Structure 1
Amino acid sequence: MTDTPRTADALIDELTLEEQVSLLSGQDFWSVNPIPRLGIGTLRVTDGPNGARGGGGLIGGVSAAAFPVGIALGATWDPELAEEIGAALADEVKSKSAHVSLAPTVNIQRSVTNGRNFECYSEDPELTAQLGAAYVRGLQGKGIAATMKHYAGNESEIERTTMSSDISERAMREIYLRPFEAAVKEAGIWALMSAYNKLNGTYASENPWLLDEVLRGDWGYDGIVMSDWFGSHSTAETVKAGLDLEMPGPTRDRGEKLVAAVQAGEVSAEVVRTRALAVLRLMERVGLLEGEHPFEEVADDRPETRALIRRAGAAGTVMLKNDGLLPLSLPKGQIAVIGPNAKAARIMGGGSAQLNPHYSVSPWQGLAERLGESALTFAPGCTNHRWEPIWQGPLKAEFFEGTELSGEPVHSEEMASAEAFWVPPVANGKVNPTRFSARLTGSFTPEETGPYRFGIHATGPARMLVDGKVVADAMSDFTRGRTFFEEGSDEVVGEVNLEAGRSYEVTAEFAASEGKMLTFSALRAGIGQPLGDDAIAEAARIAGEAETALVFVGRSGEWDTEGSDLEDIRLPGRQDELVAAVCAANPRTVVVLQTGGPVEMPWLGEAAAVLQAWYPGQEAGNAIADVLFGDAEPGGRLPQTFPLRIEDNPTWTNDPTVYPGVDGHVRYQEGVFTGHRHYDAKGIAPLFPFGFGLSYASFALSGLSVTAAEDGAEARLTVENTSGRAGSTVVQLYVGAEAPPVERPARELKTFAKVALEPGERRELVLPLPARAFAYFDETAGDWHVAPGRYTVLAGTSAADLPLTATLELADARLPR
């Protein structure tokens, strides 16, 4: 430890070339090499964005607080809340002895089927930009680096590690780069993560236009760019293009290879110094130039964090329909609690965002806490899982050298369930991480006699056996599919009739294989019981006998997950049938949806009320109950348009080059006409428009005026709570050019304000509209152009409800990049 603070600029030239190079790649999966000689500590990162995961893999580890997912935070339309959540997450990162959060995710929701939409904020660049910048300020205000991702053009999970997103510069500047630009210019972000995909034919991790010309040149960025995990593909090219840090370690493309490249003249020593200085600057910002910090992960379950998560869950819940049934009063009769998501706590999506929560509250638990279980009846009605429910332990896992499951095991351990994500070192380093095999053994005792389904998928050959007989075989013909980030097989399922009360020996066997792109091994095995017509009939029966029916349907992190796009936006399984049957049995039916994006709703006309609760974090059931009974406002507004049918969404076309892509290229044909801009341009009425959401209070907007200002314009209007109940609304301002020189959307969201008012309260809002709010990116001139002419400013509460308008004449202006 030194007595006085040191700086990166003062230290950089004390490092040898080899030491500088050592800073440019990870030392292991989650950390960067220290330099003990100079008292430079180990930089540690942890996955986000809805928490700070403990442990070395995606499963298990030290528990952590689970916050609402990205789209739920997007639905709050509340940058102040996003900043508050960022600050709370900084404390979570510190509890895991990390210095960098791999968050937030700000890719644009280009389609309705992207498996990672749940992790992103919105279809709209301005909403995403304001929320993302606020989140970054919250994290970095407490000394934790944010890592905004994925830079850029990662809007699909199909062949995402190799696909080229072919996007015009105008669309990049106006849509896909806007959140990153705001993070750099308005929040001073310290780290970005490059995307896996190529952009216009060049990998994002070695794209000079992205990393050098735009990021550092146009925006003046002084932070680092790290690769996504295993997303670096070269030595000289990535270093020269502007990729500072290759992750994870140990290095594949740098180290001795980079030293040799410098010695051979392929990379200049000055470029290496620049990259190392960027990493040192990050270390300085998070306090690592003063020596090694002790590593200790703790489960820091704070009451104030619980309260924040509960409040944020309600703030993002969107009320899509209410025929007067909500908020509920204390029931006089029974409440029927129905659906596959009623007793399951759907708190987060899947992939690298998932974590081991301190706890999770299901809707059933939240309602039981409020009303007592005696007031509730339950029926699942149907299932909605993508994979069979996880086989629960205790299980014994034995590991073998080689892939043949032969010889004596070299390591054994206990597992709580048949779900594993193995990153090096595997089995305490006793096996080669790409050339080992494992056997999981345990038992299963069914409660009922009948057919049971056994399912398995893995990143290498795998199978399940019951009493020594193979029932699900993904081993004899292993084929990669849509699981485990496209490294794993699709689930293989077999069905067996079992007797109630009898214990069966169950075995899962696995052999590791070389990854296509990523280096890890994973397995998931499950056992489930099919549900049929009788289950839907039982749900309808209890609904008919109840005062009110609450139906909890949707998806889960099995569907909304990194590594796999959705195939459609219908509710999985027989959930639509279930909702229709319950609505027919009881007109007082509330449907609570939990999904990571839009769904079709063929039963919408029959339901009395519909809430979209997303994946709101560990307090899910409590937050939902708060909204149902009116303790909290349904504060959310849609951050993504809900189309009537999948065919209406912006990427639906008969041309597969537009989506999902052909021959390694996906063409962003719609250009700047994303999200609500698309529905306006095509004249398509959505099921629910962007920005839509109902309140328990009512509001009126009036008096919109717009005047020119030194940098753009200033809008004024009045919002009034016209009800007898306190509540909140989101005032949204859109701008449209009347006679633009290029094709532009009819209207674009440019600013917004979430406003909470007491009964009868009026408030005047003053909303700035900078010059960029009126500009388009001129690809020919290479700058932002405010074309001379008349502009219309529209104010309202959704993209389809803009009752107030005002016009403004602006002179010709050119704005820098």
Structure 2
Amino acid sequence: MTHDPIESLLDQMTLQEQVALLSGADFWTTVPVPRLNVPAVKVSDGPNGARGGIFKDGPSTACFPVGIALAATWNPDLVQQAGAALGQEALLKGARVLLAPTVNLQRTVFNGRNFECHSEDPWLSSELAVAYVRGVQSQGVAATIKHFVGNESEYQRMTMSSDIPERALRELYLLPFERAVKEAGVWAVMTSYNRLDGTFAADHRRLVTQVLREEWGFDGLVMTDWFAGHDTVQSVQAGTDLEMPGPARERGDKLVQAVNEGRLSAQAVRDCARRVLRLMQRVGSFQDPVIPAERADDLPAHRALIRELGAQGCVLLKNECRTLPLEKTPGARVALIGQAARVPQIMGGGSATVNAHYRIAPIDALRAQWPQASFTHSVGADIHRWVPVLHAPVTFEYFDSPDLAGPVVQVQQVDSTEQMWTEHRPEGVTGQHFSARARLDYVAQQSGCYQFSLISAGRSRAFINGQLAVDAWSGWSRGETYFTFGCDEVVHARDLQAGQRCQITIEYSSATPEPIPLRALRFGAHRVLGEPDIAAAVQAASDADLAVVFAGLNAEWDNEGLDRNSLELPQRQNDLIARVAAANPRTVVVLQTGSPVTLPWLDAVPAVLQAWYPGQECGNSIADVLLGAAEPGGRLTQTWPLRESDSVAFGQPLNYPGQDGHVRYDEGLFIGYRHYQQRGLQTLFPFGHGLSYTEFEYGPLRGLPSRFKAGDSITVEVPVRNTGRRAGQAVVQLYVQDEACSVARPPRELKGFAKLQLEAGESCLVRLTLTMRAFAFFDDRRAAWVAEAGRFQLQAGVSVDQIMAAATVELEEDWIEPA
């Protein structure tokens, strides 16, 4: 009989060595055991790139489209290619574990992390999760599906209890995790920050052991989110293997003591250690234990893939009079308007942030692809949430004290007024806390009102010409920035004349009233854009043959750690678009957001393209679609409400954002399109919506039996023909409706889809197979999946509101499958 090498290792380990495996060594690596040749393993964020071991300004890496943009492709094959590429990127950073994908559902429209997630629909989200995981793990890199479970908002996420009815939990929120385990064989799972029904996710034995491991058969590693470990004994008993980051806080000596005192069995520790070792084995760390230096290889194949992903994720929301694609008329005068035309918005904020190899701006890509046109650019309106940082020379002096006392231990020249100290303290700092003084000169380029601001994880204050102007020092408290470890923004405004110089001194201390795990400083300075800027943009549009307005949000609004407070475009963007459209009827709007926004000017513009945050090839992907080099291949994965007051849980504080530490999912199954259809609410754009540059014809459903037995699978055929004059992409969406049921069910639910590319005049027969789970609901009384005998309608459409063909099948007897 062959002896398992992992069991042999465990037999040789002391309790202390086994315990050491259950916490990180530092921010990104696990603990090695040199005595037994047990290696360390490096992990890396995140869903749209492999950042590596330096949170800010480390070696550059490829930046892929964000989660909602990947999902908007409705293309699992392409997403699997993206996953494989991200696995390769992780290896370039010396990482064997990628902390991705994020598959929490878009329960509300306000979640600040909606951009990072796939969809409001569990089937779509799970299909893409399976593809993503398969891609990553094809490279020998572990995917880490997250956040398990119930992290559907950022408000008080570290403590909030998501109180989710069992049926909704099973049918909606757990489905992407379940399918990633059963179908993709995911190697790692990350627990969420929040509590579920009062128990922290990392301590939740029913979820981690009973559901994830025993019901689904998961044999991989479960890790905490960063700083999300709360209980030494409960987390190990729950089956959570790895506490991150290190060094140990709730484990280490505390865990050894718990075993020695009999509060926890040594077997429970061994079980967790076994799973850590198994992960090392799966990712090849025993065979190749060296963690190599990080590389910043800019791979041409990844460039091309990111560009294709960006275009396939672009959703054409509106296109009257065939405004798009644009004709590249020689000599055309084109007014590009909006900050995002020149400053590419490539990703959201938070742990998904990477230092991209490069950023292609739309203005540069359009000029390259349409050299015969004459382009102008006007900013028009601001889009920021916080006063923008400066990219200018800054001198930092560091002190080995919390109060700028003593000698300067290091002097550093940087080119940005935002600095983060997460993994390392500045050189020369030996104590627990440090302080810094930064100096720079700021010259007003134009006369106007200027804002200066501070945000800091730590205390900070800024002096302008020797006078205290911005105070985030006295009365500092945690707010919603820097993963909730930073204070809220403090802003100072003053009028300046063109050419006026300001000498700015910024002081920072890492000492805070309560301990925080990271240190950061952000100083902003900016002239507030106003009426003259909008007027200049309107005039430019009036003088042009065509106006293209780039509008939306940025990584400050679509950001980890804080939710949005409105669906309106920020600053004066709505006013800008309305006035530009009035000045030039040929106005195209390119939106870049990570979730829905309201569009009060929609009737006034002929074309709107949603481009999301498409990664480093941003400008090229958008230009490809605008100019017709690529099809707008995207379809919406989240419903856009007509009014924010129509959205799920709006005006119900207990349901969102939560009260007294609890957020109740009282809507149950009825989130997303299920909510709008149940209530008969008109939407701005329905789930699945997206236009093409060509036309398609859909035939009746074929191949269906009139009746089927419990346990059968059904394959439905949908004929599709491209009746237009150019190649295009179609997405066939298959919905199921239970005509009569003993429990409440949504009017229709997505249970299958297919994306296809057809040349002009080409036909295709789409085949979609439905298993019994497609017809079933979760019966929480029987703890089983149940499909009741009766009639089901199968509906093929191009969105949830636009059904092109339907047919009815009948299930002859009940089907029951225990969970």
| TM-score normalised by length of structure 2 | 0.97
Q: Which amino acid aligns with 1:795?
A: A
- 1:73-112 paired onto structure 2 within 5 Å: 73-112=70-109
Tell me the percent identity.
Answer: 50
Structure 1 position 446, deviation (Å): 2.4
Match of 1:674 in 2: 671
Maintained 8 Å contact 2:95/2:291: no
User: Is 1:113–2:110 an aligned residue pair?
Assistant: yes
Match of 1:774 in 2: 775
Structure 1 position 399, deviation (Å): 2.0
Which of 209, 228, 246 is the matching residue for 2:225? 228
Match of 1:788 in 2: 789
Match of 1:694 in 2: 691
Maintained 8 Å contact 2:94/2:293: yes
Structure 1 position 515, deviation (Å): 8.1
Structure 1 position 498, deviation (Å): 3.2
Maintained 8 Å contact 1:627/1:634: yes
- The 2-side partners of 1:272 and 1:15 are apart by 12
Match of 2:489 in 1: 491
- The 1-side partners of 2:288 and 2:513 are apart by 36
Which of 194, 207, 217 is the matching residue for 2:204? 207
CA displacement, residues 666-700 of structure 1 (integer Å, 9 cap, x when unaligned): 00011011100000000001000000000001111
Structure 1 position 392, deviation (Å): 2.0
Structure 1 position 546, deviation (Å): 0.7
- The 1-side partners of 2:743 and 2:523 are apart by 54
- The 1-side partners of 2:3 and 2:429 are apart by 42
CA displacement, residues 28-68 of structure 1 (integer Å, 9 cap, x when unaligned): 000000111222211000011100003422x1100000000
- The 2-side partners of 1:139 and 1:766 are apart by 27
- The 2-side partners of 1:518 and 1:670 are apart by 35
* Structure 2 CA distance for partners of 1:26 and 1:772, relative to 1, 3 Å: same
- 1:143-542 paired onto structure 2 within 5 Å: 143-290=140-287, 292-323=289-320, 324-331=322-329, 332-372=331-371, 375-428=374-427, 430-433=429-432, 435-514=433-512, 518-542=516-540
- The 2-side partners of 1:5 and 1:629 are apart by 62
Structure 1 position 661, deviation (Å): 0.3
Maintained 8 Å contact 2:448/2:528: no
Which of 543, 546, 571 is the matching residue for 1:545? 543
Which of 17, 22, 27 is the matching residue for 2:20? 22
- The 2-side partners of 1:109 and 1:298 are apart by 35
Compare 708-717 and 112-121 and name the one that shifted more: 708-717
CA displacement, residues 735-782 of structure 1 (integer Å, 9 cap, x when unaligned): 111111101101000010001111111111111001000000000000
Maintained 8 Å contact 1:110/1:650: yes
Secondary structure (helix, strand or coil) at the match of 1:417 reads: coil
- The 2-side partners of 1:39 and 1:480 are apart by 43
* Structure 2 CA distance for partners of 1:669 and 1:456, relative to 1, 3 Å: same
CA displacement, residues 266-300 of structure 1 (integer Å, 9 cap, x when unaligned): 11111111100000000001111235314200111
Secondary structure (helix, strand or coil) at the match of 1:31 reads: coil
Maintained 8 Å contact 1:41/1:290: no
Maintained 8 Å contact 1:791/1:807: yes
CA displacement, residues 529-554 of structure 1 (integer Å, 9 cap, x when unaligned): 11111111111111111111000000
Match of 1:725 in 2: 726
CA displacement, residues 487-512 of structure 1 (integer Å, 9 cap, x when unaligned): 21221111233343454321222222
Match of 1:816 in 2: 818
Secondary structure (helix, strand or coil) at the match of 1:392 reads: coil
Maintained 8 Å contact 2:477/2:513: no
Match of 1:71 in 2: 68
Maintained 8 Å contact 1:39/1:290: no
* Structure 2 CA distance for partners of 1:51 and 1:549, relative to 1, 3 Å: same
| TM-score normalised by length of structure 1 | 0.97
Structure 1 position 403, deviation (Å): 2.3
Q: Which amino acid aligns with 2:662?
A: H
Q: Which amino acid aligns with 1:210?
A: L
Secondary structure (helix, strand or coil) at the match of 1:43 reads: coil
Match of 1:806 in 2: 807
Maintained 8 Å contact 2:25/2:247: yes
* Structure 2 CA distance for partners of 1:190 and 1:517, relative to 1, 3 Å: farther
Match of 2:754 in 1: 753
Maintained 8 Å contact 2:788/2:815: yes
- Number of matched pairs: 811
- 1:518-667 paired onto structure 2 within 5 Å: 518-653=516-651, 655-667=652-664
- The 2-side partners of 1:288 and 1:578 are apart by 55
Secondary structure (helix, strand or coil) at the match of 1:346 reads: coil
CA displacement, residues 772-810 of structure 1 (integer Å, 9 cap, x when unaligned): 000000000000001111111111100000131111111
Q: Which ranges of structure 1 fall in alignment gaps of 5 or more residues? A: none
Structure 1 position 401, deviation (Å): 2.9
Maintained 8 Å contact 1:487/1:516: no
Q: Which amino acid aligns with 2:794?
A: V
Q: Which amino acid aligns with 2:730?
A: T
Secondary structure (helix, strand or coil) at the match of 1:704 reads: coil
- The 2-side partners of 1:510 and 1:44 are apart by 31
Q: Which ranges of structure 2 fall in alignment gaps of 5 or more residues? A: none
- The 1-side partners of 2:615 and 2:205 are apart by 38
- The 2-side partners of 1:338 and 1:294 are apart by 46
Structure 1 position 424, deviation (Å): 4.1
- 1:130-145 paired onto structure 2 within 5 Å: 130-145=127-142
Q: Which amino acid aligns with 1:607?
A: V
Structure 1 position 432, deviation (Å): 3.8
- The 2-side partners of 1:747 and 1:9 are apart by 49
Maintained 8 Å contact 2:784/2:816: yes
- The 1-side partners of 2:4 and 2:428 are apart by 37
Structure 1 position 373, deviation (Å): 9.3
Q: Which amino acid aligns with 1:534?
A: P
- The 2-side partners of 1:23 and 1:253 are apart by 13
- The 2-side partners of 1:72 and 1:493 are apart by 33
Q: Which amino acid aligns with 1:606?
A: A
